[in-house]
Chains A and B, each alone.
Chain A
Amino acid sequence: MGRILSEYGIYLLEALGKTLLLALLGLFFGCIIGVVFGLLSVVKSKVCNWISLVYVNIIRGIPMIVLALFVYIGVPYAFKNFFGTRVMLTSLAAGTICLAVNCGAYMSEIIRAGIQAIDPGQMEAARSLGLPYWKSMFRVVLPQAIKNMVPSIVNQFIITLKDTSILSVIGFPELVNKGQNIIARTFMSFQTWIIVGVMYLFVILVLQWVAKMLERRLNRGR
């Protein structure tokens, strides 16, 4: 274990950095997608609700590993065969797309449920004062909904962080991918996976701690 740490420590830290970068990118775009589709699912428009429903159900129904291979290998292959054009996606770009699309679907559900849990009377009271729908949504409904959503959002962050490991299959140099490389050279799989596991655990514990502080601050406001 000491040998791996001394020889490959920097290498693993770099991989951790890539993992975090991918997770942050995925979460960032995932949150945007989640907010958009979450709102689409609560507005008073059958078409919008339906679009959101279809998106969420498709993504929920497909394992991310399939999505990853499809985006990274399937789509460029199709472009080459049918259009004769070479589309190259870096593994970071493909990984970000997969994570964001996946995380976005689950965030959308969290946001929909969070908004629907708020008493409709809040929206009605705001509208009755002459506030337009979106002003009422952003100033009255969402602030209350977000407070309730924080635990689910943190949970989703953790899942997305761990989901980055799936993207080792498309060769993105994150922790699992690099761990496999180390094992190929050293044959020390027991030690390597323990180290990799502890690294994930550490990041997630820190994330949970930050979330706790945030929650406490939000609750102090009321």
Chain B
Amino acid sequence: MADNRNVKIHVENLQKSFGKHKVLTGITTDIHEGEVVVVIGPSGGGKSTFLRCINRLEEISSGTVIVDGYDVSSKKTDINKMRENVGMVFQHFNLFANLNVLGNLMLAPTELKKANKQEAKEEALKMLDMVGLLEKAEAFPHQLSGGQKQRVAIARALCMHPDIMLFDEPTSALDPEMVGEVLAVMKELAKKGMTMVVVTHEMGFARDVADRVLFIADGIIVEEGTPEQIFQNPQNQRTIDFLNCVL
């Protein structure tokens, strides 16, 4: 791993509890510029929580998270500024139901004065073209298939020109025949050098695209390594059991 690259996400002893329930019990890792990190692990292990702590959709309980130079763990940090730089894609798409596709893509750039209407529209059309949905610019979310929705959601995040993209099981809610189109867009992004953290059960994607795989269970990183190390030669018994179940 090229450790001389910029550290984009620094996580140190991250802990998160919901009331008495300890969900993350101490996560430490550095994610570098341009790195694609795939997070795998059993359901309920804390993968989503880990991702949501990175852009502070969840308040962290203790530890340090520094994203792009912003100290996410500090109350004083301008969290909105940080989030402009960190795109997130959700399992259930979460497209704005009251806006059409262009409206979804243009809302944040125009509201946050990143661009005027004209520029935002041109940018939105460019991003739609990239995800292959130019002809859906005027459609409303409920008129799209799941795969199309997720591609729009990715385009929406990209319109803010983020440095980092977080994906929380982006293909888990899709019919099987639509998984490929979404993964293809994500591969394209990875190729362009985007820093990505991807929670997924698509082991094929992990193998092909990941620079590093984290296996998270019971709120800690049980094992991490290159896809070869994790898939061909896992060391920890929990990793071995999990992979036996999913492969």
Contact = CB atoms under 8 A, between A and B. Distances in A.
Interface of A: 119, 121-122, 124-132, 135, 139-140, 143-144, 147, 222
Contacts of A124: 57, 90, 94
B142 interface: yes
Interface in B82-100: 82-88, 90, 92, 94-99
Nearest to A128: B88
Contact of A128 (B55, B98, B99, B140): B55
Contacts of A143: 98
Contact of B160 (A121, A125, A129, A139): A129
Interface stretch (B8-16, B27-35, B105-113, B200-208): B105-113
Contacts of B111: 131, 135, 139
Contact of A126 (B85, B92, B96, B142): B96
Contacts of B199: none
Contacts of A140: 96, 98-99, 107
B57 A139 contact: no
11 contacts: A121-B94, A122-B96, A124-B94, A125-B90, A125-B95, A128-B55, A129-B83, A129-B107, A129-B160, A132-B80, A222-B97
Contacts of B86: 128
Given A125-B96, A132-B80, 18 more contacts: A121-B92, A121-B94, A122-B96, A122-B97, A124-B90, A125-B95, A125-B153, A126-B108, A127-B57, A128-B86, A128-B88, A128-B157, A129-B107, A130-B81, A131-B80, A131-B111, A131-B112, A139-B107
A196 to B, nearest CB: 42
A48 B16 CA distance: 26
B84 A129 contact: yes
B212 interface: no
Contacts of B47: none
A124 B112 CA distance: 16
Contact of A119 (B84, B88, B94, B98): B94
Contacts of B94: 119, 121-122, 124-125
A130 B84 contact: yes
Interface of B: 55, 57, 80-88, 90, 92, 94-99, 107-108, 111-112, 140, 142, 153, 156-157, 160
Contacts of A131: 80, 107-108, 111-112
B195 to A, nearest CB: 16
Given A124-B57, A125-B90, A130 B96 contact: no
A168 to B, nearest CB: 42
Nearest to B166: A128
A129 B108 contact: yes
A122 to B, nearest CB: 6
Contacts of A127: 57, 83
Contacts of B82: 130
A143 B86 CA distance: 26
A129 B140 CA distance: 19
Nearest to B80: A130
